[in-house]
Amino acid sequence: MLKRDISFIEALMKRSATKLAGHDVLASKSRDEHAAYMKQLFGFLPQDVEGIHTHKAGEGEGLWFRLRDGRVFSKYGKPAAADHALYDKP
């Protein structure tokens, strides 16, 4: 599991949000609106992320956010299995 700083995690989440909602939607939001929108879209904020997985058994390469509370979400904010054994072993 990769441990990254919050700015890196924010950038990954913003890139995924842009693919989901479109650049114009994100660009039209103020800083406060942007944080609320990210929370609504993903169900968590960058500061909730403990680390990032880049491989999952049965799915291959990708991006999954592991939260401090143990939950795991795909790069599109969809819940994923939390079992550590599933991740980062190609």
pLDDT exceeds 80 at position 28: no
The answer to whether residues 52 and 44 touch, using CB atoms and an 8 Å cutoff, is no
Beta strands in 1-90 (DSSP E): 49-56, 60-67, 72-74, 79-80
pLDDT digits (tens, 9 = 90+) for 32-84: 787 788 888 899 999 999 999 999 999 999 999 999 999 999 998 899 999 99
Q: Which residues contact 45 (CB under 8 A, 6 or more apart)?
A: 35, 38, 39
pLDDT digits (tens, 9 = 90+) for 13-27: 988 888 877 777 766
Q: Which tokens hold the place of 57? A: 């058994």
Annotate 34-46 with b (16+ C-beta within 10 A) or e (fewer). beebbeebbebbb
How many CB atoms within 10 Å of residue 4? 15
